[in-house]
Homo-oligomer: A and B are copies of this chain.
Amino acid sequence: MGADVVWPDAAVCAASFSFDVDGEAAAIAADPATARSMSAMSHQAYGPLVGVARLLDILDHRRVRSTFFVPGATADRYPGVVRDIAAAGHEIAHHGYHHVTPTTLSPAEQAEQLDRGSDTLEQLTGLRPVGYRAPMWDLSWEMPGLLAERGFQYDSSLMDGDVPYALATRSERPGRAPLIEIPIQWALDDWEQYCYLPGVTELGPIQTPEHAVALWRSELDGMRRFGGCWVLTNHPFLSGRPGRAAALDALIAEVLELPDVWVAPLADIADRVRGSVGAPRAVAPIPSSMLRTAPRED
């Protein structure tokens, strides 16, 4: 565990069950042609239409509070779903408006997506989101500054640590709490295990829930040994399916039994570490000297 982070109850590891409620927006942003396919859209709609309710039931039964990242466009299409999540006591966090990856947008467009998404969620829930996760987990270099300027408390899109840290931004100001980064990783994501969407993601044979859970458990056990903050991400359009939801339910029960693990939503984790993470970490930009890639002519 990072030297400065101390979890409650003498836990050696924090854990969070987070959800990305992509809906149709994620498929459309990845490939606009999917919007023509009622089947592809229905595959994505399964999340808000069916998956979220099942997952809320499971979380409620296990008494776990969680964080749901919702694109603004999905919130606009399924406002009742967002209200249900909030009413159940979970955190609603920001996942872009159109689920367009920030790295393909100008800074002004990024800011517009950010504000539009925040406005949408605030109108639905009465609360402005304090957490952000980049669509497609593809954070731009400009985004931390944009988040800090707007008072976001944490981002959860980077992959360079086991534990949360304060991330330096271009908008540091005396007296303002630093932006906390809560790292994620692709091995703790259900997308790479379950997602098959022709033309968007064809990563290989769809895996069994047993395989996915074994992978996630191996990393949890590693973090229990070395310390860490285990942030699992499930997508309701994938893990809301009956067999996967049952496996996730069993995993939640298993994690809750571990005496050395502290389970919390991401906002609580950000709150917890804010005072102890030390000075913000500055991530050096990629220098032009690293960009030499011109191939030979022949």
Contacts of A157 in B (CB 8 A): 38-39
Binds B, one of A14-22, A171-179, A219-227, A265-273: A219-227
Question: Is the pair B205, A202 in contact by a Cβ cutoff of 8 Å?
Answer: no
Contacts of A103 in B (CB 8 A): 36-37
A242 at the interface (CB under 8 A from B): yes
Please measure, in the bound complex, the distance between the C-alpha atom of A210 and the C-alpha atom of B214, giving whole angstroms: 9
Question: Is the pair B104, A295 in contact by a Cβ cutoff of 8 Å?
Answer: yes
Question: Is the pair B207, A205 in contact by a Cβ cutoff of 8 Å?
Answer: yes
Interface string of A193-204 (1 = CB under 8 A from B): 110101000111
Contacts of A290 in B (CB 8 A): 24-25, 28, 35, 73, 77, 98
- Interface members, chain A 154-173 (any B CB < 8 Å): 157-162
CB distance from A279 to the nearest CB of B (A): 16
A228 at the interface (CB under 8 A from B): yes
Instruction: From B105, B140, B208, give the contact of A218 (CB < 8 A).
Output: B208
Please measure, in the bound complex, the distance between the C-alpha atom of A192 and the C-alpha atom of B196, giving whole angstroms: 8
Please measure, in the bound complex, the distance between the C-alpha atom of A198 and the C-alpha atom of B104, giving whole angstroms: 14
Interface string of A237-279 (1 = CB under 8 A from B): 0000111111100000000000000000000000000000000
A82 at the interface (CB under 8 A from B): no
Binds B, one of A45-53, A60-68, A86-94, A122-130: A45-53
Question: Is the pair B105, A295 in contact by a Cβ cutoff of 8 Å?
Answer: yes
Interface string of A94-117 (1 = CB under 8 A from B): 000010110111100100000000
| Known contacts A38-B283, A42-B158, A291-B35; A226/B54 CB under 8 A | yes
Please measure, in the bound complex, the distance between the C-alpha atom of A295 and the C-alpha atom of B284, giving whole angstroms: 26
Contacts of A283 in B (CB 8 A): 38, 41-42, 45
Instruction: From B187, B204, B284, give the contact of A241 (CB < 8 A).
Output: B187
Instruction: From B100, B141, B243, give the contact of A292 (CB < 8 A).
Output: B100
